[in-house]
Amino acid sequence: MTSSLNEELVLSLITKVNLPLVFREFVKNWEICQWSEEKWCLEFGNREIPFRCMKRNFISEEPCWERHCNVQKMTFKSFIDQIPSSTEWMYFDYKYLHQWFTNDSELCKALSWKQFGFPDKGASDTTLWVGSKGAHTPAHQDTYGVNIVAQVFGKKRWIFFPPETGCMKATRVPYEESSVYSELNFYCPSNLDAFNGVMGAHMVELSAGDALLVPRGWWHYVQNIDPLNITFNMWLPHEKDSSSQVSEALIKILVAQICKDLPHQTARQIVNPNEVFILRIYFLYFYTTNY
């Protein structure tokens, strides 16, 4: 699909279609799609940001879970300078824009999802993903919402499977609210036999200026294929989210019960690093209000 689509038609597609859709060059008119590396360096400034990193030659049976990554803090300029010689891929991923940039920043002012039919959605609703070649997100399903993606720098590969696809080896370990992971290692598998029986894949590559609709429940594996990659996304509510929120709350209670008496290092093997703080707060609330 091309940039000739109007807001009304795009909104209709987003709310009604149950297949992944690529909108070629749909956000090419965004100012930030024209920004150079130098411009991005200026926008990030001298603040240090945390990148999760992994050796490019890492091979394993299980995916490159976040707990296997080391974290390096560096400026965006240092990140750019390291890309050509680094033996690791680096990912500053799943970061809410408003937590890292002020509302009066040039980036936040430029971001609007109006042409998708959502004029009220902007930087405060947006998540940022910045990474080098090889940086990726393990295959998973989102249990909430509809995902709208805008690719603004570099190329990114998406591999999709329908929600009902068998043999994906679904797991809630590592636990992350709203994410059901697959135990299949798409990035660096040590045994391809694990993929026997997995069928129905759809693969697309997004270039700068392209946009993507990821319907609720679709499995997806995502990997950067250019040296520098910058992506934005937002999640839109879905009519089935209420029932999912109930089941996710019950799962969180179960995980909390399992983890509460475990040694810290053992709990870290169960809970994704970005959920540890949330669970600690939950433990405190649960046990101070019930005992």
Confidence of residue 3 (pLDDT cuts 50, 70, 90): very low
Which domain range does residue 259 map to? 243-290
**Are 111 and 250 found together in one domain?**
no
Q: Does residue 81 have a pLDDT over 60?
A: yes
Structure confidence by residue, pLDDT tens digits, 144-190: 889 999 999 999 999 999 999 989 999 999 988 889 999 999 999 98
Token pair for residue 80? 């750019």
φ/ψ (deg, to 5) at 85? -110, -5
pLDDT at 286: 55
**Are 65 and 204 found together in one domain?**
yes
Q: Which range (104-118, 222-236, 267-281) has the least confidence?
A: 267-281
Query: How much is the mean pLDDT over the chain?
Result: 90
**Are 119 and 248 found together in one domain?**
no
209 located within any domain: yes
254 located within any domain: yes
Q: Which range (97-101, 188-192, 222-226) has the least confidence?
A: 188-192
**Are 91 and 76 found together in one domain?**
yes
Overall average pLDDT of the 61-78 stretch? 95
**Are 226 and 261 found together in one domain?**
no
Quote the number of domains for the chain.
2
Tokens 């909108």 label which residue?
Answer: 23
More confident residue, 39 or 248: 39
204 located within any domain: yes
Q: Measured between alpha carbons, how far is 216 from 232 in angstroms, rounded to an integer?
A: 18
User: For residue 104, how far is the Cα from the chain centroid?
Assistant: 25
101 located within any domain: yes
Residue (of 143, 194, 210, 182) closest to 3 by Cα position: 210
1 located within any domain: no
CATH of the domain at 138: 2.60.120.10
- First-to-last alpha carbon distance for the chain, in angstroms, is 57
2 located within any domain: no
Overall average pLDDT of the 10-29 stretch? 92
Domain boundary, last residue among 196, 217, 238? 238
**Are 229 and 283 found together in one domain?**
no
Confidence of residue 104 (pLDDT cuts 50, 70, 90): very high
**Are 196 and 249 found together in one domain?**
no
**Are 148 and 286 found together in one domain?**
no
Confidence of residue 279 (pLDDT cuts 50, 70, 90): low
pTM of the complete model: 0.90
Confidence of residue 290 (pLDDT cuts 50, 70, 90): low
121 located within any domain: yes
Strand (E) or helix (H) holding 44:
helix 37-44
Residue (of 221, 213, 202, 160) closest to 21 by Cα position: 213
